[in-house]
Amino acid sequence: MIQEDTLKKVLYIDLSKKKFWVEERTDLFSQFIGGTGVAIKLLHENCGYDIDPFSPENPIIFAIGPLNGLFPIASKTVAVFKSPHTGNLGESHAGGRSAIAIRMAGYGAIVIKGRSDRPCYIAIHSDKVYFKDATTLWGLEEGVSAGRLIRNQEPGAGLRTIMRIGPAGEKMVSFACVTLETYRHFGRLGLGAVFGSKNLKAVVVSGKRDLKVTNFKEYKEVYGELLAQLAQSDKMRKYHELGTSSNIMPLSFSRGIPIKNLLTNELQEISNISGESFAEKHLGRRVACSHCPVACIHLATLRKPYEDEPYFYRTVYLSYDYELIYALGSMLGVTSSEGVLKLIEVVEDMGLDAISTGVVLSWITEAFEKGVISEKMTEGLIPQWGNVDTYIEIIKKIVYGTSEFFNDTRRGIDYVSSKYGGKEFALTYGGNEMPGYHTGYAAHIGYLFGARHSHLDSAGYAIDKEAMVRPLNEEQIANKIISEECWRQILSTLVICFFGREIYTVDVILRCLKLTGYNISKEELLKIGQKIYIDKYRFKIKSGFDLSSLSLPKRVFELPSSIGLLKKDFADRIIEILREKIKSLL
């Protein structure tokens, strides 16, 4: 049992008034443990359901869990907010050093509201909060690291994290991200744009504390068992060796990787952007989040020539994984690993979510081919499958362009396809762009009904994989989607990286929780997961989300998936079952 419970403290920050205060919220952390559970409760308390996402009253909420700082791979921070991309729940998870830094600073959650009258960043050093001028950091040229400049200004005592936005966040692109520690991100749903709307360039958090346990013998035993499994188990090996990019070729063989906006199942030379190819040609090193022995972050080296110095190059390190290679590779018909890395670099420089960016570019390419949009609208740029240089210029136009079309594109393809046409090939789910799995019914319907419309909500691709071996009926698929999403609320409440989900079983989690002062049963734990799931849907629906309007993109029924051509009537029955199940829970 922890001698000093830091999780009960919630730090509130008002950017408008430049004030901060701390409240002890033992009620929240005793009932909902931490992470996602506490964050969604704080969102209900602090966010008006009818406010504009760019309103000063839209809160940014960070929350951590009781396993952060104590157990391996419990390395994530949860961020929630009202999403400018979908208009309802925004939720994103990020690793790096963020969770440990927040805990070492002495907080279980941070709530940021208001809007600064000028660009600023917040520096949280344990019990001190400083509001720093960021005028010189705002509008930095691409490639200039605000993180490095802030790092040079802020004291380095204890464990520190720096969360910051790029030009896309400043321009309030609805799918702008927040970057942490260079290689981690709060990626989807537009947290970067919410930062920008508040004139908030960055948040720095540091602290230096001890987390003491009374039953050190048992703690050491549990920790050792977890460490051994995470470092040595076959379940974790792929994350360390090739990472998730190892999925490229298997999904290509099974027709499960989306290619060219789902126009085809074939991409010649796709092996050039496989995980094996990236490792052989570009892998420079692996790094890990704090308290993680896996080191799943794969960094590629990209040599870039100096313009005025022939034969001299600088080396850029870029993180890559399956989702980035899918979105900026196969989805765009790019089959050069160097080309994918060049696109990753500009996406990083701009501070954009890579998945949404890739799907937006793929829609633009098909829309241009079909005459839905014109060269005049794209400011003279002609998008073509595989043309990396043009895609780089379009990405910059999305951030800096002045035409009506690019201003509209900053809101994502759900909006732009509704305005200009091409809705029938717009791959969006609840307003969010498609993740990288065309594996079957559960993947697509999981995106549609997931609280974040993400592949991480219910891992539908794993359900589809099961269905390849043993066919599942509509009721079984619906039940599995809800069951998995409810369970993942527990993992994101603790907050455990989903890569460790097979190691952190129910029994293991209950042992860990007991060491941190939570004596709860399996039934109580599962009930908490379901309650969090319900709370998320309540926020979505009160914010205008309409279950009855959900439908799958037409394109997913036109191209065979890993389990064959999907049938609309079968999918519609699953959708109707899920609607009724969610309504009954509410």
The torsion angles phi and psi of 293, rounded to 5 degrees, stand at -90, 0
The answer on 401 and 439 residing in a single domain is no
The answer on 166 and 65 residing in a single domain is yes
326 has pLDDT over 90: yes
CATH number at residue 411: 1.10.569.10
pTM of the model: 0.96
**Final residue belonging to a domain, choices 390, 422, 454:** 422
Residue 184 lies in a domain: yes
226 has pLDDT over 50: yes
The answer on 453 and 401 residing in a single domain is no
For residues 225 and 40, what is the distance between their CA atoms, to the nearest angstrom? 32
The answer on 186 and 60 residing in a single domain is yes
Q: Of the candidates 414, 411, 409, 495, which has an alpha carbon nearest to the alpha carbon of residue 447?
A: 414
Structural domains counted in the chain: 3
Provide the mean pLDDT of the chain.
94
| pLDDT tens sequence across 444-466 | 999 999 999 999 999 999 999 99
| pLDDT tens sequence across 232-244 | 988 899 999 999 9
Residues of the domain holding 103: 9-207
- Give, in order, the Cα–Cα distances in Å from 533 to each of 71, 395, 445: 25, 35, 17
| pLDDT tens sequence across 39-80 | 999 999 999 999 999 999 999 999 999 999 999 999 999 999
Residue 133 lies in a domain: yes
| pLDDT tens sequence across 405-427 | 999 999 999 999 999 999 999 99
- At residue 158 the predicted structure's pLDDT band, cuts being 50, 70 and 90, is low
1 has pLDDT over 70: no
Residue 224 lies in a domain: no
Give me the percent of the chain exceeding a pLDDT of 90: 89
The answer on 164 and 49 residing in a single domain is yes
The pLDDT score that the predictor gives to residue 3 is 37
For residues 114 and 111, what is the distance between their CA atoms, to the nearest angstrom? 10
- At residue 2 the predicted structure's pLDDT band, cuts being 50, 70 and 90, is very low
Per-residue buried b or exposed e for 338-359, using 16+ beta carbons within 10 Å of the residue's own CB = bbbbbbbbbbbbbbbbbbbbbb
For residue 133, the SS3 value is: strand
316 has pLDDT over 60: yes
539 has pLDDT over 90: yes
The answer on 456 and 417 residing in a single domain is no
The answer on 382 and 456 residing in a single domain is no
Residue 288 lies in a domain: yes
For residues 397 and 377, what is the distance between their CA atoms, to the nearest angstrom? 11
The answer on 61 and 19 residing in a single domain is yes
The pLDDT score that the predictor gives to residue 6 is 64
Angle CA 466–472–476, to nearest 5: 105
The pLDDT score that the predictor gives to residue 4 is 46
CATH number at residue 486: 1.10.599.10
For residue 147, the SS3 value is: helix
The answer on 471 and 446 residing in a single domain is yes
Residue partners of 344: CB distance under 8 A and separation at least 6:
318, 319, 320, 324, 328, 354
Residue 122 host element (H or E): strand 120-125
Residue 1 lies in a domain: no
For residues 341 and 284, what is the distance between their CA atoms, to the nearest angstrom? 13
Residue 212 lies in a domain: no
The answer on 520 and 441 residing in a single domain is yes
CATH number at residue 96: 3.60.9.10
For residues 192 and 156, what is the distance between their CA atoms, to the nearest angstrom? 25
The pLDDT score that the predictor gives to residue 146 is 85
Q: What is the DSSP letter of 421?
A: S
| pLDDT tens sequence across 172-184 | 999 999 999 889 9
End-to-end alpha carbon distance in the chain: 35
Average pLDDT over residues 557-572: 97
The pLDDT score that the predictor gives to residue 303 is 87
Residue 392 lies in a domain: yes
The answer on 171 and 288 residing in a single domain is no
- What is the DSSP annotation of 341-388? HHHHHHHHHHTB-HHHHHHHHHHHHHHHHTTSS-TTTTTT----TT-H
The answer on 126 and 31 residing in a single domain is yes
